[in-house]
Amino acid sequence: MTKTKLIISYIILIIISLFFITPFYVTLITSFKSLNEVSIATMWNFPKHFSLEGFIGAYKKLAPNMKNSFYLTIPATIISAVLGSINGFALSKLKFKYSNLIFALILFGMFIPYQSVLFPLIRFFQKIGLYGTIHALIIIHVIYGIPITTLMFKNYYEEIPDELIEAASIDGANLYDVYTKVLLPISIPGFVVVAIWQFTNIWNEFLFAVTVTNNPAKQPITVALVNLAGSQVVEWNIQMAGALIAALPTLIVYIALGKYFIRGLLAGSVKG
Amino acid sequence: MAQVVLENIDKIYPNGFHAVKNASFTIEDKEFCVLLGPSGCGKTTTLRMIAGLEEISKGTLKIDGKVVNDVEPKDRDIAFVFQNYALYPHMTVYDNMAFGLKLRKFPKEEIDQRVKNAAKILDIAHLLDRKPKQLSGGQRQRVAVGRAIVRDPKVFLFDEPLSNLDAKLRVQMRSELKKLHHRLDATIVYVTHDQVEAMTMADKIVIMKDGVIQQIGSPYDVYFKPKNKFVAGFIGTPPMNFLEAKVVKGDGGLWISAEDLKVKIPKEFEEKLESYIDKDIIFGIRPENIHDKSIYKGEHTNDVVKGKVDVAEPLGSETLLHVTLGGQYLVAKVDPTTTAREGTEVELILEMETMHVFDKETELAVI
Amino acid sequence: MSVQKNKSRMGFIIILPSLILIGIFVYYFIFWTIRTSFSNWNSFSSLLRGVYKYVGFRNYERIFMDPRFQTDLWNTLFFTLFFILGSVGLGLFLANLIDKGIKGSRFFQNLFLFPMAISFVVTGTVWSWIFAPGNFPNDPQGLNLLFKKLGLEKLQWMWYTSSESIGHFNLALIAVIIAAVWQMSGYIMAMYLAGLKAIPEEILEAARVDGANERYIFWKIKMPLLKPITLSAMIVLGHVSLKIFDLIYAMTGSGPNNVTDVPAIYMFELTFRSNKYAMGSAISVIMLLMVAVIIIPYLYSSLRRGVSS
């Protein structure tokens, strides 16, 4: 590549980077402003005085919902990853009749607009008395997470040679041994990818959260954040600090484990 | 006693593919039996059926006199060495070898003793703490064998264990496996597509093609007494020459006759060829049984053919001459002192006592 | 019983609980929604009574006659179209820039991908502030203010509050499309980067030796090889856009005269604000059908490929 071409590439990349950074910049500077400094006229300016007012206000309002989100996301992530791993094992290493059809039937659940199950779903949880609880959301995310976690683990396990399983079965391992002593120990990268994917998705999810939980005290952080904006006077520093707080856990995961996050993204598109 | 008996075994896959057809043979106790054939011939499927990794569609499999068709692989008392070794990547060499014993709840001391003993035999005692990733191909191979040895099984099953090694290492491992066989006094079933491996290691060779057993015999038998054209062509490098010819009568006996080819059939074969007089047959002779007349020292009569050298390939210890003979084609492995060169005419002597004749229709050996 | 049969029976037993759960929560519930969409459950009391009354396609007729839903369909069409074009275009462009192995490519890659880690709700909140027009030209806000500072007053605009349209294309959607492209194009870039990495260097070298220039290599060699990725990207983006809800809900809502309304928003309001469950269900069924039309053939063909390989 010639030098001019290289320089042009960089200029283009930097311009596009500005586009990508802009929302982040606005969020960051606004969240560090005090309420009297937040004004429309200075919204692009750097804060004159750094203030934690926004964060304190946002934390007060969102802390319980943040806790809800953790209570929801962590168990749902763990359970759906384990389920996906077991399913992936069955579908990749214990081939059975119609396993492809069953896989397709399960996989379809990943693409449906959840609106098409929402009404009966809510009626169902009302009937069993779980409506409006975090438990209901955990169940929902575990079940609707089955397709994607199964897909990811199936693809992961298909890379592992069948001979490894056969060697174990000749060595005297039953299916339980094969899974726990051979497959599971080499599944750690798979679990990291799936867990990051599920954590991010469940944390960020909104539709189920807003329709299944009606009590503000029980709502996950995404719903609380939207409700924050819905109040009469929008305190933008609090709003932006809140957005930042809501994004923080997934952002930290992304920064710390970006490699696995990308792998999850790519695994999510069925077969590339 | 660990005798393996296959009786009329068939393998038909759900998609209808008939991988093994009516296979029957016996592997005697302490025998080194090689299943040999081109890829897709059903040899690996046969081995996997013996192991229990593949279901037997029809027929009976007996190990030690007991029918084991429906016995789980782990209860058949066999060990399997995989082509890609299939070592557990998360375990050390020691744990790889100990895994089967641990699952079988052997006492700790015995596991330790067996693993260390096997490691010593295979010269991998210094690698016991390593993970498979840190090993070379040859070392992984040894660990895979070690994992089999520690179990002290009735039967060892090897699936092309040397095919992932480079040529030099392959030769070395070949002789080591042979030594190991004597040392362990074990029954071994060994699958390969490499005829050299088969010839050098086997007590008994089972040659397969398209799911059908072609011949069962000692290395000597399959080389000198091939039962059909396929076996004759498969064993030996370069392969046996096949020439279309006729058996004709005249001039004091029977002759093989084709364009540019007229050689006398030795007396001892005449009776068997009586019924083929004036019929098309396939005449076979190995390249090593053809010599350059100008430098041949032995006696000979009525066994000379003349052809044109297409290509001469000097290999050092011998020279391969590719010769055209009246539209047909012949390879001769001759002494390197030959003066024959590309484009020249050459007179070749065929050692007729080593000749083969195959029925043109059935391709079965007549001689 | 034989060993293999035992193994495959275990496989089925292991998958069975998941299959049952999906059977109930996906297929049975979809059936339930379809059933509801043919009922008269369009008020809370009718639902409470619990008597199912079949009304045929009446809810669908009403929905399709509804100008708001017609607007929604147009909005979905144009949103999908420009969202896919924008994301695939930008994603492919970025992938090619980065794939050339320039310094800091890792940094740029991570930067362009980070929106994928954040929820639509968060980004919608932020974008709604950026695109808020304010009282321009005198008292502009957000982007308009930035334009004023940069002396680009001409670019000031109503953004998502605009009621302008070209044909059926409501220009207010542009703000939403920009936000959505911002969020998803990094993902498409990652897909293309993976695809570009999978192209053997030898093929490109062979083409260069044959005298092909970079432009030719891009259009005649890379693009055809990246075709399956383009298809996957379009499917992924397409089904996201047909279902889009959070981003619009957090960013603009329906907007004035429903300029940024989509079926998911309307369905949400009908079901959860107006208790018109049957009509809401009818919209859900229509959304499901739209998604199914693109997903089922995709699933069929990619599983086919999976089986044969």
CATH number of the CATH domain containing B40: 3.40.50.300
Using the predicted structure, report yes or no on whether residue C308 has a pLDDT greater than 50.
no
DSSP conformational letter for C25: I
Instruction: Please state, in angstroms and rounded to a whole number, the distance separating the CA atoms of residues B153 and B182.
Output: 15
The pTM of the full predicted model, rounded to 2 decimals, is: 0.89
- Report pLDDT digits (tens) over B85-120: 999 999 999 999 999 999 999 999 999 999 999 999
Whether B303 contacts B283, CB under 8 Å: no
Which chains touch A (3+ CB pairs under 8 A)?
B, C
Q: For chain C, say whether B54 makes contact (Cβ under 8 Å).
A: yes
- How close does chain C come to B110, measured CA to CA in Å? 30
Which residues in chain B have their CB less than 8 angstroms from residue C10's CB? none
For A100-122, b where at least 16 C-beta lie within 10 A, e where not — what string?
Answer: eebbbbbbbbbbbbbbbbbbbbb
Over range C122-131, report the average pLDDT: 89
Instruction: Please state, in angstroms and rounded to a whole number, the distance separating the CA atoms of residues B105 and B111.
Output: 9
CB contact under 8 A, B80 and A182: no
- Report pLDDT digits (tens) over C174-211: 999 999 999 999 999 999 998 998 899 899 899 989 88
Interface of C with A in 5-64 (CB under 8 A): 7-12, 14-15, 18-19, 21-22, 25-30, 32-33, 36
Whole-number pLDDT of residue C3? 62
Q: How confident is the model at residue B140 (pLDDT cuts 50, 70, 90)?
A: very high
DSSP conformational letter for A46: P
Q: How confident is the model at residue C168 (pLDDT cuts 50, 70, 90)?
A: confident
Using the predicted structure, report yes or no on whether residue C309 has a pLDDT greater than 70.
no
The amino acid at residue A139 is: I
The answer to ipTM > 0.85 is yes
> Residue B44 CA to chain centroid, in angstroms?
13
- How close does chain C come to A255, measured CA to CA in Å? 8
For B91-123, b where at least 16 C-beta lie within 10 A, e where not — what string?
Answer: bbbbebbbbbbbbeebeeeebeebbeebbebbe
Residue of C nearest to B72 (CA): C3
Interface of A with C in 55-74 (CB under 8 A): none
Residue B332 and residue B218 share a domain: no
Nearest to C119 among A12, A119, A204 (CB): A204
For residue B317, is it within any domain? yes
Residue B170 and residue B122 share a domain: yes
Q: For chain B, say whether C2 makes contact (Cβ under 8 Å).
A: yes
Decide: residue B303, CB within 10 A, 0-12 exposed, 13-18 middle, 19+ buried: buried
Whole-number pLDDT of residue B326? 85
Cβ atoms < 10 Å from Cβ of C1 = 7
| Mean pLDDT over each residue of chain B, to the nearest integer | 93
Best mutation target, B50, B74, B114, to test chain A (most A CBs within 10 A): B74
**CATH number of this structure's domain C67-308, picked from the four choices 1.10.3720.10, 1.25.10.10, 1.10.579.10, 3.30.70.380:** 1.10.3720.10
Whole-number pLDDT of residue C154? 79
Query: Which of B234, B249, B281 delimits the end of a domain?
Result: B234
For the domain spanning A54-267, the CATH number is 1.10.3720.10
Q: For chain B, say whether C307 makes contact (Cβ under 8 Å).
A: no
Whether A47 contacts A32, CB under 8 Å: yes
Residue B283 and residue B215 share a domain: no
CB contact under 8 A, A225 and C125: yes
Q: For chain C, say whether A112 makes contact (Cβ under 8 Å).
A: yes
Residue B330 and residue B193 share a domain: no
Whether C36 contacts C59, CB under 8 Å: no
Whole-number pLDDT of residue C224? 93
Helix intervals (H) in B235-322: 270-273
Paired tokens of A203: 């944390």
Cβ atoms < 10 Å from Cβ of C275 = 17
For residue B367, is it within any domain? no
Whether A130 contacts A213, CB under 8 Å: no
Q: How many residues does chain C have?
A: 309
- Report pLDDT digits (tens) over C8-51: 889 999 999 999 999 999 999 999 999 999 999 998 888 888 78
State which residues form the domain around B302.
Answer: 241-359
- The packing angle between helices A236-256 and A258-267, to 10°, is 90
CB contact under 8 A, A166 and B82: yes
Whole-number pLDDT of residue B1? 59
- How close does chain A come to B11, measured CA to CA in Å? 18
Interface of C with A in 79-118 (CB under 8 A): 90, 94, 97-98, 100, 102, 108, 110-118
Whole-number pLDDT of residue A232? 60
Whether B257 contacts B299, CB under 8 Å: no
Best mutation target, A95, A170, A175, A183, to test chain B (most B CBs within 10 A): A170
Instruction: Please state, in angstroms and rounded to a whole number, the distance separating the CA atoms of residues C277 and C32.
Output: 12
Q: For chain A, say whether C231 makes contact (Cβ under 8 Å).
A: no
Residue B151 and residue B85 share a domain: yes
Nearest to B73 among C1, C3, C5 (CB): C3
**Chain B interface residues (partner A, CB cutoff 8 A):** 51-53, 72-74, 78-80, 82-84, 86-90, 99-100, 103-104, 147, 151
For residue A111, give every residue at least 6 positions away whose Cβ sits within 8 Å of its Cβ, in sequence order, or none.
C239, C291, C295, C299
Best mutation target, A96, A159, A171, A183, to test chain B (most B CBs within 10 A): A171
Residue of C nearest to B54 (CA): C4
| Chain A, chain B: beta-carbon pairs less than 8 Å apart | 56
Which residues in chain A have their CB less than 8 angstroms from residue B95's CB? none
Residue of A nearest to B78 (CA): A170
CB contact under 8 A, B83 and A163: yes
Whole-number pLDDT of residue C155? 80
- Report pLDDT digits (tens) over B262-278: 999 999 999 999 999 99
- How close does chain B come to A161, measured CA to CA in Å? 8
Whole-number pLDDT of residue A272? 33
Cβ atoms < 10 Å from Cβ of C305 = 12
Interface of C with A in 153-212 (CB under 8 A): 182, 186-187, 190-191, 194-195
For the ranges A39-43, C50-54, C145-149, the lowest mean pLDDT is seen at A39-43
Using the predicted structure, report yes or no on whether residue C101 has a pLDDT greater than 90.
no
Q: For chain C, say whether B163 makes contact (Cβ under 8 Å).
A: no
Q: For chain B, say whether A182 makes contact (Cβ under 8 Å).
A: yes
Decide: residue C125, CB within 10 A, 0-12 exposed, 13-18 middle, 19+ buried: buried
Q: How confident is the model at residue B157 (pLDDT cuts 50, 70, 90)?
A: very high
For residue B365, is it within any domain? no
- The packing angle between helices C277-308 and C263-272, to 10°, is 130
Q: Which whole-number Å values give the CA distances from B64 to B1, B76, B204, C82, in the listed order?
A: 6, 10, 18, 72
B78-81, strands of its sheet edge to edge: B78-81, B155-159, B187-192, B32-36, B204-209, B212-217
CB contact under 8 A, A163 and B84: yes
Domain count across chain B: 2
Query: Which of B211, B234, B257 delimits the end of a domain?
Result: B234
Query: Which of B234, B261, B283 delimits the end of a domain?
Result: B234
Over range C47-74, report the average pLDDT: 92
For the ranges A191-195, B60-64, B175-179, C213-217, the lowest mean pLDDT is seen at C213-217
Which residues in chain A have their CB less than 8 angstroms from residue B83's CB? 163
Which chains touch B (3+ CB pairs under 8 A)?
A, C
Q: Which whole-number Å values give the CA distances from A147 to A158, A189, A231, B207, in the listed order?
A: 16, 19, 37, 47
Whole-number pLDDT of residue C137? 74
Whole-number pLDDT of residue C30? 97
Q: What is the full per-residue pLDDT of chain A (272 aa) written as tens digits?
A: 678 888 888 899 999 999 999 999 989 998 998 888 877 777 888 888 888 888 999 999 999 999 999 999 999 999 999 999 999 999 999 888 888 899 999 999 999 999 999 999 999 999 999 999 999 999 999 999 999 999 999 999 999 999 999 999 999 999 999 999 999 999 999 999 999 999 999 999 999 999 999 888 999 999 999 888 766 667 888 888 999 999 999 999 998 888 888 888 787 654 43
Over range B303-317, report the average pLDDT: 93
Q: For chain A, say whether C78 makes contact (Cβ under 8 Å).
A: no
Q: What is the percentage of chain C residues whose pLDDT exceeds 70?
A: 97
Cβ atoms < 10 Å from Cβ of C209 = 8
For residue B366, is it within any domain? no
Nearest to A167 among B52, B72, B80 (CB): B80
Residue of C nearest to A140 (CA): C25
Whole-number pLDDT of residue A16? 93
Q: For chain C, say whether B70 makes contact (Cβ under 8 Å).
A: yes
Place of tokens 């002597």: B349
Whole-number pLDDT of residue A132? 93
